[in-house]
Structure 1
Amino acid sequence: MIVGIGVDLVDIPRFEASIARTPKLLGRLFTTAEQALKPHSMAARYAAKEALIKALGGSDGVHWTDIEIGAEASGRPIFALSGETATTVAERGITALHLSLSHDAGLATAYVIAESIPASAAPGALA
């Protein structure tokens, strides 16, 4: 069952200017691995983190560096959550996160769907 949907759009040149103006943002927003990426990829990951917060219904218990966007062998983007953010997502009953990223024409976008298993469909649930 879908419990949340989030979408975000980032203007890449504006994002790059913000990072250039305030370099400390990199350490506050991105993991060490993400900081090594090209600006358009970082902008897409920023959008993904914003979209995740929207899908969760708010930022309580969510920390930027507890969210890392990686990729499966196929290239499909995935979330790797840790710390309090992983705990928060689990406590909200979310069992799957779906992520789509794109960047083109100076814009980066991300779309997130958060799912949970309805109590009636969970293993061992009473009918």
Structure 2
Amino acid sequence: MIAGVGMDLCGVERMRKACESEAFCRRVFTEAELSYAAGKKSRACHLAAAYAAKEAFAKATGLGLAKLGLRSVSVRHDAAGRPILVLDPQAPALEPYRRARFHLSLSHDGGIAAAVVIYETEGV
């Protein structure tokens, strides 16, 4: 059963400027996210998409980013290259969501990154 859907957009140029601050990057992104983006042609596109995914997750679950913490949810990629969400096992706010299934779609074009998260509870 679908329990929530979240969607978010993030400006790539805005993220590029924000990521000029290493402190910002370390506060917002995990090492895995930063490493993945570092190997890409447009680092800012991938980081903007990861940020949008965090926001979309917060909207889908109803947690909000303040309660969630930006590094509590990380965007990774499976063996096929599909983006997936990884929940921090140490984040207490995420305990009710550990058995849920999350579907993630990311895109970036024309200076905008987008993310959609579907939160599913049945059959998990």
| Identity of matched residues, % | 36
Structure 1: gaps (5+ residues): 123-127
Amino acid at match of 1:73: A
The unaligned stretches of length 5 or more in structure 2 are 38-42
Give the greater-gyration-radius structure (CA).
Answer: 1
Report Cα offsets for 1:11-38 as digits up to 9, x if no partner: 1011111222x43111111011212311
Could you say which residue in structure 2 is the equivalent of 1:125? none
1:69 lines up with 2:68 in the alignment: no
Partner of 1:50: 55
Q: TM-score, normalised by structure 1?
A: 0.81
1:24-64, CA deviations, whole angstroms, 9 ceiling, x for partnerless residues? 11111101121231111111000000000000112264222
Q: Secondary structure at the match of 1:98?
A: strand
Detail structure 1 runs of 4+ shifted over 4 Å in the superposition. none
- RMSD across aligned positions (CA): 2.1
Query: TM-score with structure 2 length normalisation?
Result: 0.83
Code of the aligned partner of 1:32: E
Give the alignment of 1:75-114 within 5 angstroms. Answer: 75-85=81-91, 87-91=92-96, 95-114=100-119
Opposite residue 105 of structure 1, the aligned amino acid is G
Name the counterpart of 1:14.
14
Pair 75,91 (structure 1): closer, same or farther in 2 beyond 3 Å? same
Equivalent residues of 1:93, 1:116 under 8 A apart = no
Task: Give the distance between the partners of 2:72 and 2:7, measured in 1 at CA.
Answer: 19
Deviates more, 1:23-32 or 1:91-100: 91-100
1:77 Cα shift?
0.7
In structure 1, what is the Cα distance between the partners aligned to 2:32 and 2:102? 21
Q: Offset of 1:84 from its aligned partner?
A: 4.5
Contact 2:8 2:114 in 1 (8 A): yes
